[in-house]
Structure formats: structure tokens, C-alpha cells
Amino acid sequence: MNNILNFQQKIIPEMIELLKKRYQILKSIYYSQPIGRRALSQELSMGERIVRTEVSFLKEQGLVEINSIGMMITEEGKNILENLEEMIHEISGLSNIEETLKKYLGIYEVKVVPGDLDLDSTVLKEMGRIAADYVKELIQDNYIIAVTGGSSVAQVVENFPKVNKQNLLVIPARGGIGRIVETQASTLASKLALRIGASYKLLHVPDNLSRDALETMLNEPDIKDTVEKISKSNILIFGIGRADEMGKRRGLTEDEIKMLLQKGAVAEAFGCYFNKYGKIVDKTPTMTLDFEDVKNIDHIVAIAGGKYKAQAVAAVRTNNPNMVLVTDEGCAKELLKLKDESITK
């Protein structure tokens, strides 16, 4: 298969590009169905005329159907999409990229999803599905699963398959943050628990309280019990944020964010701000998983994508060799550039 693909790329490279384009269109319809042509065009940052031509071809092949409510993928289209995944992964050279990044980041595994999140929003959904399928295989009876908040982790939860395990507990790895309740850790913990038939505990605590207020609340029996269970988690699913964006979400003033950046902060995770060398330069008072406990968790899975997140992803050093990163092609290629820059310096 690899030899055939290499031959095709050299002799008829336009065929490979067309294959990628049609795969991208099929994938976007699958995740957004029913969807209209104009909405699909905007989602893919692709001209309406191109979308119309390609969709017409896919319809003729019986892979897409169109009705009054929009376009939907057929059962045959779904089968084709599933069979294409491995081929597109190989064509894009993502296996080699995964191996290179695994060594560069010093982690257990890297999974790269084809596409660029900055150009195609459905890439995040695919990242969520890949991460969810991976985590499902890790879960054992009596496991404690901790989740942070954020849109990336939310997609993992949304795409989680059924799990046939007993006595599972899902808990938030941190308190609330920001005003979007739908993507807060406690909300996602309860959703995931319902999807997999687990019990759950919540942290009804804002994530930006003063140190004195946090210490007072930690004496509450229910909160204390939940926090203790967080440190005993078997699996942690977390997102990685840019320092400037997370500062805004935490309600920091412009001066506070400026001071944070002056310290060299480029990334945030677990309430800790990291510089580009992976050193913690600041820490927010928060009811969250203690960073020192992260390295002792059996399995930790990070999900983050988009070119603009690359420096943040490279900066978050968990010191846990079992860490797995799920990202997109755009972020992965930017990480390769950072690796090359670090070698030449």
C-alpha cells in the first residue's frame, strides 16, 4: 500500500490532493449533518462552487444524500469514510510525525488527526473521537476518571462510546472557570458519567477564589473528599491553554496578564503557568489537581489543537512518561518547527 501511495504522489499528485479534499468534505458532512452547502463552504473555508461540484460527485457515487433539511452522509459514505482514515493518515505522513513528536516531547504516544483546526472546526470533533476511543480502552473496573474543562475536553465527552465496566467514578479535576457553564469541569464530569454509566462527584466551587476562601472551603467534608479522590485518579483527561487566553478567562486585568507574560508564561494547565522551557512561573489559587500528583497518575491524556496552541503544548511538561497527546496536523507541524528551532539554537 505504501509503495502504491508513494508512486501515485510522484506521478499524479493532484489525485492525492483530490482524495484529501473529498475526505475532508465527507468528514465535515458526517460531523455537521444535516448541513447546507453554504454552511459547509464556510466551515471548510472553501469556495461554494468547489463544494457544489464535489458534493454533486459524492451524491452520484451514493455517498451523500441531499434533501430539504440539508446534506447527510449515507451508510456507504460512512463506511468509505472509516476506510479512508488510515489511508489519509499515511498519505499525510502523520505516522512519522507522531514518532518524531513522541521523542521530542518525551511522552508515551502522540496521535495526530489529519487537518487543521484553524481552518476546519470539525477537526476538533475528530480529535475528541480519537481521544475518547483511546481512553475507553484504558478504563478498568473501579477506575476514577478526572476531567478538566474546556471545549477540547468537551468534544472527548461528546464522542465517548459506551463502556462496560463496573464501579466507575468521574470527577472534575478543577473547580469552575469562566462563565460558560457547558464546558466547565463539573458539567463535563456529570455528562461523561451519564454516558458511561458511572457515578460522579462535583466541585461547586469557583476557580478564582482567594487563598483564604479556598482553604476554608477545603475543610468542607464533601469538597475535601472530592479533592482527595482527584489525587487518586487512574485517568486524567485535560486540555492545554495559552497563558494569555487563560488569563482572560480567569478574569485577570490587562496589567496582571501583562505581568504574567513578562514572566515568560506561554501555557496553562492545572492552574499552573509554564514558560517555554516547561518551568512553572506562576500559579493561580485554585481548587484543582495538585501538579505534583499529575506525574503519579496511571494514564493522562491531553487534547489540544491549532497552530496557535503549539508553543503551549510544547511547554506543558507533566513529567509523566505515560502522557498521550491528541492533536491536529496544524499543531503537529508547528511543533516540528519548534523542535527544529530548538536544535539550531
CATH code of the domain in which 52 resides: 1.10.10.10
Parent domain of 16: 2-91
Domain boundary among 65, 91, 117: 91
Question: In degrees rounded to 5, what are phi and psi of residue 9?
Answer: -65, -35
239 lies in the same domain as 315? yes
Say which CATH number the domain at 219 has: 3.40.50.1360
54 lies in the same domain as 189? no
**Which residues of the chain have a pLDDT value below 50?**
none
119 lies in the same domain as 264? yes
84 lies in the same domain as 186? no
87 lies in the same domain as 99? no
| H-type alpha helices, 254-294 | 254-262, 291-294
39 lies in the same domain as 136? no
Describe the crossing of helices 37-44 and 13-32 by its angle, rounded to 10 degrees: 120
**H/E run at residue 84:** helix 75-91
Question: In degrees rounded to 5, what are phi and psi of residue 79?
Answer: -65, -45
Instruction: For residue 155, give the nearest of 181, 178, 121, 186 by alpha carbon.
Output: 121
Edge-to-edge order in the sheet of strand 235-239: 109-113, 323-328, 299-303, 235-239, 144-147, 169-172, 199-200
Strand runs (DSSP E) across 58-119, as ranges? 64-67, 70-73, 109-113
Total domains, the chain: 2
Pairing mode, if any, of strands 70-73 and 64-67?
A: antiparallel
266 lies in the same domain as 305? yes
232 lies in the same domain as 281? yes
Assign 253 to helix, strand or coil.
coil
Question: Rounded CA gap, 230 and 246, in Å?
Answer: 22
Q: Would you give the DSSP letter of residue 200?
A: E
Question: Rounded CA gap, 90 and 208, in Å?
Answer: 44
195 lies in the same domain as 246? yes
**What is the pLDDT, as a whole number, of residue 337?**
92
Assign 302 to helix, strand or coil.
strand
**What is the pLDDT, as a whole number, of residue 211?**
64
**What is the pLDDT, as a whole number, of residue 90?**
82
59 lies in the same domain as 144? no
Domain boundary among 91, 112, 137: 91
219 lies in the same domain as 81? no
Pairing mode, if any, of strands 109-113 and 323-328?
A: parallel
Cβ(230)–Cβ(289) under 8 Å?
yes
Domain boundary among 91, 118, 145: 91
Describe the crossing of helices 48-60 and 37-44 by its angle, rounded to 10 degrees: 120
Question: Rounded CA gap, 57 and 43, in Å?
Answer: 19
Instruction: For residue 44, give the nearest of 133, 123, 152 by alpha carbon.
Output: 123
Q: Does the pTM of the predicted model rise above 0.75?
A: yes
71 lies in the same domain as 194? no
Beta bridge pairs of residue 236: 146, 300
